[in-house]
Structures are given as C-alpha cells and as structure tokens.
Chain A
Amino acid sequence: MKLVLYSGGDEEGNRFLNLRALELTHVTSPKLTFIPSSSHDAEDDFRFFVDEFSEFGIQRFMLFCVDTPYTKTILQEVLKSDLIFLGGGNTFYFLKHLKKAGMFEHFKKFLKRGGVLCGLSAGAIVFTPHVHTASFPHFDRDDNPFDMKNLSAMRLVNFEFFPHYKNSKRYDAELLRHSKKSKRPLYACPDGGGIIVEGDQITFSGKCSQFYQGKKLVLSQYKQA
C-alpha cells in the first residue's frame, strides 16, 4: 500500500512530497487523476494540480468529481491511473460523496494493484479510521452541513491525521484533550509537511508531532532530498 498524506500549503512547500509520490508510482510517465472534494471550482483546482505536476514532465491527467454523475467508462479510466490525488475542502461533504459513490472499495482495489493514493487535508483525513479530526478545534474546523453522524472513513491506516497544524498552545490543548480519549496516535502536520506510507513503513516530512494518550511528541524530520 502506498499512501501520501499532505497537510496543505503551497507548491513550493509540497515539492518534496510531490516528488516522493511520483517516485512511488515506479512509472516513467505516470497517469494522474485529481479528485476534488467538491465539483464547485474543481476546474480551477485541477488546473493548479496540472501546473504543479507538469513541472515534473507529467502529461497525462484526469479530473474526476465524485459529487456529479459519471459513467462507468470514466471511472474505469480513473482506476487505471498510477496516482490518484484527493483534494482538500470540506471533509464531511467529501466523505459523504466518496461513500455514496462507493469509492472506498475502488480505492482499496486500486491500492492493492500498486496504485499511489495521495490526499491533501480533507483528502488525507478520509484515509484514517474516522474523520473526527475535522470537527475540532472549535476555532478551525469544518462545518458538518448534513449533520453526519457516521464519521467512519477508509481505515487505510491506524492513526489519526491532523492537517494545517500550528505549533501553539491552543492547538496543543485541543489535540492533547482529544488524544486522551483516542486509542490511536494522532499525527499533526504543519503545511508543507505530511506522511508517506509505503507498506508497513511510515515516514514523516516536515516538523510533525504525535499526540497520544495525553502526550505530545515532536517527531524527527524525514531527511529531505
């Protein structure tokens, strides 16, 4: 299984993760699919996605929206990609539509055949067992527009992911409080940082922190190329 979890941030900050993600495909001219969290403004996001990855010589891109109807033909093409990238946005909205479209099963099969699954912010939170981290802290959380109760997600990893983390007392207080109730470690990553999962191996990029059982641990940075 090959996953790349991005926190967020700009092109420059994510360059390392982008490169790693492409390397993980082990293909010289990989085919990339971008799945935005919402079809609204998706074309803008797609254009930026293309701009960012075409710098590495990539030419084959697809845009696929899960919240608009699509045909089997397109879905099959998407699943033939070498890398699928889930964008950020409202985690609850994205989760609802990913589930509705039955994408979790498709992604699992995609990973099984060696595809690289990337996610940024909301797109990465959905890789974890549930999306609770999107609902706190109160000063920086997603709205739950449908008042979704079932927040279970893909369970591809056995940790929680907190994107856009800022090393501050008020963030830490909320994350520590949450970690006391959770059975799993929570990895908080600042923008530009992220987590690379390759099989059983987890590596971190950027100054990430672990919150577990009421304690915070700053993780050593992945050696950047």
Chain B
Amino acid sequence: MPENRRMVNTKLKESRPSKETTKENFGYPKFKEIDGSHPFKSAVPEAVVEYQVRSRHGGQVAFFNFELARELGLIPENHPPELTKELKEEILHTFSIVIINEYDLMNNFNFPKEEIRPKTYMATRYLQLQHPCKKGTTSGDGRSIWNGQITNKGKSYDVSSCGTGATKLSPACNINKKFYQTGDPTVSYGCGYSEKDEGLSSLFFSEVLAKNGLETERVLTIIEFPKGLAINVRVHENLLRPSHMFNHLKQNNLPTLKRVVDYYIERQIKNKVWKNVPTDPKSYYDYFLMKVVETFSQMSANFEDQYIFCWLDWDGDNILMDGGIIDYGSIRQFGLYHHEYRYDDVQRWSTSIKEQKQKARYIVQTFAQIVDYIKYEKKKSIDDFKNHHAMQTFDKRFLDYKSYNILVKIGFNAKYTEILLENCRKEVEDFRSDFTYFEMAKSVKGPKKVPDGINWNAIFCMRDILRELPQIFLSRGINGSVNQAEFLDIIKSSYATKADLKRSLRRDLKIKSFQKNYIKLINLVSKKTKEAPEKVLLDVSMRSSVINKYDRVTGDSISTIVEKVMSKKPKLSAEEIALILKEFTECQNLNPDKERRPSNFESQKEQSPIVKGMLQIVREFRDGI
C-alpha cells in the first residue's frame, strides 16, 4: 500500500501484541542500542526537536555495509556478507521508521500504538544559509533524524537517517510557513523523503574517499521503498557540524553555545581523538580552537589538492566538525583542477574549489569568535578576529599541508617527505609554483554551461605528468629531459584543444623549470639519504603509479555508475551491491602503502563484468567534474 495513503487512512487502534517481543530472538543485540537515545538530547535539549517515530512498512534492504557493521559491532567479526532473514528483519525494524510530525499531529492522525517506538528521535538544529532566518532559529535536519549512538571498542559513532519524514526544520516549511505531510508531492526536498540514488551516490563516493584516507560519513544501509524512495542511514564518529554551533552564536545564546562546544570537546576526548586536553577553562577552549584550526587548514588543503569540491560557506553546513565530508548531494571530485566550476543552486551560485579555502578560513574565524565569546562572555564582532593569531596559524598550516600534499602526490615516501619539509622548503615551494602554473591553466574556449552549473575547463592532467615523468627520467637518465612537445603531449587532457596547447616562451620556460625543480628534489633526497638518485626516482615512480593512477573517480563517473547500478536487470541484491562495492573501492584505493597481494606478475583476479563496466565509466569521465 502506498505510504501516504496508509498514513491518511490509519486511525488509532487498540494495541496488538507487540512485535518487540519477537525481536529478542534475532540474535543481533547491538541493534537494540539504536533506539533514538543520544547523549546530545540531554546535553543540549534546546538544540534538538524530538519526534515520536513509528514503523514504516513496505521497505526492503537495498544495501547493507557489512564491513562497517563489523566495525560498529552490529554483526560479529566472522559474520558472512550475507543478509540472513534475521538480519534483514533487524535492519528493517531498526531503521524503517518515519517520524510523526507536526502535520500528523495537527490532523489528528492516529497510528497503531504498537507501531510507535517507545523513545523519541531527534532532529538537530543548525544554521543553514538557504533558510530565510539567517540565525538558525528554524533550520536544521529537514528530512533526517538521528537514530542514536553506538559504541564499540571504546569508540562511539553517531547514526542518522535521511528520508525519515518532514520535520519543521526544513527550508520549505519555513519559507512557506506551513507544516508538510511527509511525502507531500508538492514539495521535493521538503517532503521529508530521500531517494535511493542519493543513497547509492553517497555510498560509492564515501567508500572510495574513506578508502583513500579522507574523513567522511559512511552509508550503513539503504532501505528502499516504491517509486525510488529510500531511507539512507549514515554513520560517522561524530556527526556534529560547525553549523550546530554557529546558530547559537548568531542567536547570542551563550549558555547553549557553550554546552554544544563542551559536548563536542568531551566527545572528542571520550573517543580518544584528542589527548592531553588542558583542564583549566581558558586553555581548554584554546585547545579546541587550535584543533579546529588544524582540522580546517588540513581539510581545505586536502580538498584543494585532491580536487574535492565541497560547497563550504559561512553557515558551516556541508562539513563535519572533524573535517569529514557529509551530504554528498553537492560533493564532487574533479579529474582536473576545474577551479572555475560553480554549482547552480537556482537562487545562488556555489563557491568554487579555490574559494573553499577562504570559506574554511572564515569558519575558523567564527570559531575564534566563539572561543572568545565563551571565555569572556561577551560577544565581539566577527571582524575583530580578522587578524586573530588563529588566522595566521591557519594560513601557515594551510601552506604546510599544501607542501606536504605536493610531495606525497609526486610519490615521495614518508621519510623522503619529512627530509624535504625539514630541509628544503624553498625548493618544495619552487616546484609547487611550477606545478600550480600548469594545474591552473584553462581552455581558451572560456566558460561553458554544464548540466548542473558552469565551468571553464582546466586543460592539463597533473596526475599524468607525475606518473610518467619519473619513468622517463629513469629511462633517459637523471639528466635526460622531456622536450616541450613531449611534455605537453603527456600532460594534455581530453579538454585541451589545439589552441590550448600552443607553445609560448613563458610556457616553455615553465616546462624546463618544472623538470629542473623536480630533479632538484630528487637530488636533494638522494644527497640527504646517501641513496643513488635512480633509487629515489624508482621508489617515487612506483608510488606515483599508484597515487596518480590513470583512472580515478569523478563526480560525474559516480552519477553514471549509480545509474548503471539502478538500471541493472535483474535488480542487484543487497549482497551483490556489497560485493561490487568492495571490488570497486579496492580498484580505487590509491594508497601506495596499502597491503599488497602476493604476485608473480600474473594478474590473478578477474573483475566481475559489472565492475569492469564501472571502471570503464571511471575512465570515460576521468578528466571531468
């Protein structure tokens, strides 16, 4: 029966024997911890809106992340990647829920008592720029609720679900000044539902990025409903965002702001993410600020260098407090440095990838304001923190991470990287400057409309030159070089036209300088380590072949892959998706230090046909957005 019809027609009935009693037999006890309980509710009650929830019927488990579930202790370590009847029932019982919202209450909808869960679930309040009220009094989780917190091996994780009904914190609700019935077809985002393709996009993207060492939310399960709808359940160690604090700052609500900040700090300590936190109150918050500076400088440098487009803005939404990625709807990974790309959000254009740093910096500035406010109980203007020492530290650390990242990208191992950062800063900066020159080059064709925004194509693929150059140096000898035509031939992307590849005196000089500075770094390591330059080059070459692999996912490739998975006939089962995901993410693991399989130069593993198809898509879109 369609979900909305069921809701309208259902009236309160006398209790039937509770299904809770049969749940005891399922044998997955950890699931019971996920019942809406969350310490944030009691720590800062005014920062959440609590909802009663009821069972939502008609759902099927479209995906379950066995690996993540093992990490969370939801299933035993030795549990096979198999969705048993009991496990399926447990997943559905735990996550197939919908809130009883204000619309339901106003219209006196009565639901069978046995379907209403004993505990409430929270929607959290946070600042969102798309809300008319710019103070965050009405904004927050518009179609999500937090299922709870789960602890395993001394670490706690937040669990939240998207698509569990329309809350009063959605933009639609506040712009139109009315409550919406969950599933109302007249509003899209505000209807409280989410879709299966959103879940799958988040799944494939987040698993690839997590495999490559980035902090991100991860998808635990996807429960699908008719018409492509789904509940997408996500997990992260801490799902708080800066915007969970910024709303209270904007409202000048010091007590609440302080409680949210304290909650976050205590959680980081409890999870052993932060150690040796000072106990005296002032240093306590300074430590917090220092950690924020570190996190956001590293995150923004990493996003820039890995071409991750994440729409950061003053509201501190779209990013987690620990720099983790959340809400994959607007996340992209570019194949090239498409620094002019902007997403068209109808009412506004997004920031571009190179503006992200400034937005991250502004978020840090806001935290400097928060810490000062908490310490001195008087709110100063944000402008007073323009030259705060935290901003200087941010700028410095950002550059440190940029230097570190370029060395890692080249293929220097940890030891070589440390040597260069400690002793040869200028040389590293010189190379980075040459690298940036080519990375920033744009097509002479100018800006172009793309399906979801605007772009001005970058033309050079830096991964290609970093992968091929050490091989050529090894082949030709350390003093051999690549001529200008060869260099451009290697570095050109599929976006480069003949006109884009025109040589100029400046470009020719940069090509020479790029190679001269590259070899300089190799020789410096060689000198410091007393290893032959060829040996250093060989190590760099091997690492670079992994880091700068020819095929790397982009946002467009993920969207196309999801379409392929969605349209697969017969439909892929949850286990099949899990298997494909594992195979796919392994292929996209670009960590040169990952565990290696034994080899005798004989490719033993054959990819499944669907993964082969997916990798073909990755290849096709490798230069894109």
- A residues neighboring B (CB under 8 Å): 8-11, 14, 31, 34, 36-50, 54, 59-63, 65, 68-69, 71-74, 77, 80-81, 85, 87-90, 120-122, 143, 145
On whether the beta carbons of B600 and A77 are closer than 8 Å, the reply is: no
Q: A43-B546, A77-B472 are in contact. Are A59 and B534 (CB under 8 A)?
A: yes
- Within the complex, what minimum Cβ distance (angstroms) separates B452 from chain A? 27
Contact (A9, B600) CB under 8 Å given A40-B615, A59-B535, A59-B538 = yes
A contact residues around B551 at 8 Å (CB): 39, 68
Give Cα A50 to B606, complex, Å. 23
Q: How far is the CA of A188 from the CA of B541 in the complex (A)?
A: 36
Q: Kindly list chain A residues whose C-beta atoms are within 8 Å of the C-beta of B471.
A: 62-63, 74, 77
Q: Which of B362-370, B400-408, B482-490 contacts A (4 or more CB under 8 A)?
A: B482-490
Residues of B within 8 A of A88 (CB): 600-603
A-contact bits for B471-500, CB 8 A (1 contact / 0 none): 110111000001000100110000000000
Cross-chain contact B490 with A47 (CB below 8 angstroms): no
Q: Do B534 and A60 have beta carbons less than 8 Å apart?
A: yes
- Beta-carbon nearest neighbor of B545 in chain A: A43
**Residues of A with C-beta under 8 A to B615:** 40
List B residues 535-575 near A (Cβ within 8 Å).
535, 538, 541-542, 545-546, 549-551
Q: Tell me whether A45 and B486 are in contact (CB under 8 A).
A: no
* Minimum CB distance partner of A142 in chain B: B606
Complex CA–CA separation, A159 to B192 (angstroms): 69
Are A34's CB and B472's CB within 8 A?
no
B contact residues around A65 at 8 Å (CB):
550
Contact of A46 with B605 in the complex, beta carbons under 8 Å: no
Tell whether A44 pairs with B550 under 8 Å between CB atoms, given A61-B538, A71-B468, A143-B606. Answer: no
Kindly identify which residue among B538, B603, B605 contacts A50, using a CB–CB cutoff of 8 Å. B538
- The size class of the interface chain B forms with chain A is 35 or more
Contacts of A45 in B (CB 8 A): 599, 601-603
Task: Specify which chain B residues have a CB less than 8 angstroms from the CB of A61 in the assembled complex.
Answer: 474, 538, 541
Contact B603–A36 (Cβ < 8 Å): yes
Give the distance in Å from the alpha carbon of A50 to the alpha carbon of B474 in the complex: 13
B88 within 8 A of A: no
CB closest residue in chain A, given B533:
A59
Given A40-B587, A68-B550, A80-B475, A49 and B532 touching (CB < 8 A)? no
Is B472 a contact partner of A73 (Cβ separation < 8 A)? yes
Give the residues in chain A near B605, CB-CB below 8 Å. Answer: 40-41
Q: Which residues of B contact A (CB under 8 A)?
A: 468, 471-472, 474-476, 482, 486, 489-490, 532, 534-535, 538, 541-542, 545-546, 549-551, 587, 592, 596-597, 599-607, 609, 615, 619
Q: What 8 A-B pairs come out closest when comparing CB atoms?
A: A88-B602, A89-B603, A87-B601, A48-B599, A73-B486, A59-B534, A77-B475, A43-B546
Given A43-B592, A60-B475, 10 more A-B residue pairs with CB atoms under 8 Å apart are A9-B600, A40-B605, A41-B597, A54-B538, A59-B534, A60-B474, A60-B538, A61-B541, A73-B472, A77-B475
Q: Tell me the dominant secondary structure on chain B's binding face.
A: helix
A49-B546 Cα distance, complex, nearest whole Å: 15
In the bound complex, how far is the Cα of B542 from the Cα of A143, in angstroms? Answer: 30
Q: Would you mind naming 14 contact pairs between A and B with Cβ atoms under 8 Å apart?
A: A40-B603, A43-B549, A44-B599, A59-B534, A59-B535, A60-B474, A60-B538, A69-B550, A71-B489, A73-B468, A73-B490, A81-B475, A88-B602, A121-B602
Which single residue of chain B is at the shortest CB-CB distance from A89? B603
Q: How far is the CA of A85 from the CA of B486 in the complex (A)?
A: 25
Q: Residues of B contacting A8 with CB < 8 Å?
A: 600, 602
Q: In the complex, what distance in Å separates the CA atom of A196 from the CA atom of B394?
A: 62
Q: Which residues of A contact B606 (CB under 8 A)?
A: 90, 143
Q: For A68, list chain B residues within 8 Å (CB).
A: 550-551, 619
Complex Cα spacing A78 to B546, Å: 19
CB pair B603–A71 under 8 Å, yes or no, is no
Residues of chain B within 8 A of A34, CB atoms compared:
601
CA distance A122 to B602 in the complex (A): 8
Task: Specify the chain B residue showing the minimal Cβ separation from A59.
Answer: B534
Q: A46-B542, A65-B550 are in contact. Are A73 and B489 (CB under 8 A)?
A: yes
CB distance from B560 to the nearest CB of A (A): 19
A80 to B472, CA, bound (A): 11
Does B600 lie within 8 Å of A11, measured CB to CB? yes
**Residues in chain A near residue B587, CB distance under 8 A:** 40
A122 to B476, CA, bound (A): 29
Chain A residues whose C-beta falls within 8 Å of the C-beta of B545 in the assembled complex: 42-43, 46, 63
- How far is it, in angstroms, between the C-alpha of A36 and the C-alpha of B550 when the chains are bound? 14
Chain B residue numbers with a CB within 8 Å of A47 are 542, 596, 599
Report the separation of the CA atoms of residues A145 and B606 in the bound assembly, to the nearest whole angstrom. Answer: 10
**Residues of chain B lying within 8 A (CB to CB) of residue A80:** 475
Could you say which residues of chain B place their CB within 8 Å of the CB of A11? 600
CA distance A145 to B602 in the complex (A): 18
- Looking at the complex, which one of A14, A31, A39, A81 makes contact with B550 (CB distance below 8 Å)? A39
Task: Kindly name the residue among B475, B534, B551, B615 whose own CB sees the greatest number of chain A CB atoms within 10 A.
Answer: B475
Inter-subunit contact A44/B596 (CB<8 Å): yes
Chain A nearest CB, measured from B559 CB (Å): 22
**Alpha-carbon separation in the docked complex, A31 to B603 (Å):** 23
| In contact, A44 and B597 (Cβ under 8 angstroms) | yes
Residues on the A chain within 8 Å of B538, using CB: 50, 54, 59-61
Chain A residue at smallest Cβ distance from B546: A43
Which of B534, B599, B601 has the most C-beta atoms of chain A within 10 angstroms of its own C-beta? B601
A151 to B545, CA, bound (A): 31
**Could you say which residues of chain A place their CB within 8 Å of the CB of B535?**
59
What is the CB-to-nearest-CB distance from A65 to chain B, in angstroms, rounded to a whole number? 7
Known contacts A40-B615, A46-B542; is A74 also within 8 Å of B600 by CB? no
Q: Distance (Å) between the CB of B514 and the closest chain A CB?
A: 15
Query: Chain A's nearest CB lies how many Å from the CB of B190?
Result: 44
Given contacts A43-B549, A74-B472, contact A38 B603 (CB under 8 A): yes
How near does chain B come to A6, taking the closest CB pair, in angstroms? 9
Q: Which residues of A contact B546 (CB under 8 A)?
A: 43
Query: A72-B489, A73-B489 known; A62 and B602 CB under 8 Å?
Result: no
| CA A88 to CA B471, docked complex, whole Å | 22
Closest to A60 in B: B474
